[in-house]
Copies of this chain bind each other. A is one copy, B any other.
């Protein structure tokens, strides 16, 4: 079961990563899962009004990170060691992206999360990503 609430996670993000605090909005925390929204702004866009690849990577990365923290608490600084990401469709123009993350493994040293990214309100995913985080030993 999660040990951090939406509010806890939002405060943590604002404190530790002030540069992105208004970019991401956590919408749901559940057992081994989480949903987070990217509030799309001008700087996320490529010509044509669609969200850039690095922005989608960044959304997947934060989704898995927050899902891990929600389960283990804000005590450890997990780092991404691997990501595989597939870009499947062009996102809808000027539309928020919503990422749904599910943790497939939460081990002592490694955690693995799977994320589907959709344009808000659409069914077909625009991207999917799997990320591995390394969880450092407690000091």
Partner of A43, one of B19, B54, B110: B19
CB proximity of A110 to chain B, nearest CB, Å = 7
Q: Which of A19, A54, A79, A88 lies at the interface centre, i.e. has the most chain B CB atoms within 10 A of its CB?
A: A54
Any B CB within 8 A of the CB of A1: no
Are B86's CB and A104's CB within 8 A?
Answer: yes
Are B54's CB and A58's CB within 8 A?
Answer: yes
Any B CB within 8 A of the CB of A24: no
> Scoring A residues 80 to 94 as 1 if CB is less than 8 Å from chain B, else 0, what string do you get?
111111111100000
How many of chain A's residues have a CB under 8 angstroms from any CB in B?
Answer: 34
Q: When A53-B61, A58-B54, A61-B53 are in contact, do A84 and B82 touch as well, CB less than 8 Å?
A: yes
Any B CB within 8 A of the CB of A132: yes
Are B54's CB and A81's CB within 8 A?
Answer: no
Any B CB within 8 A of the CB of A21: no
Any B CB within 8 A of the CB of A47: yes
B residues near A125, Cβ cutoff 8 Å: 104
CB proximity of A84 to chain B, nearest CB, Å = 4
Are B132's CB and A130's CB within 8 A?
Answer: no
Partner of A81, one of B17, B19, B83, B87: B87
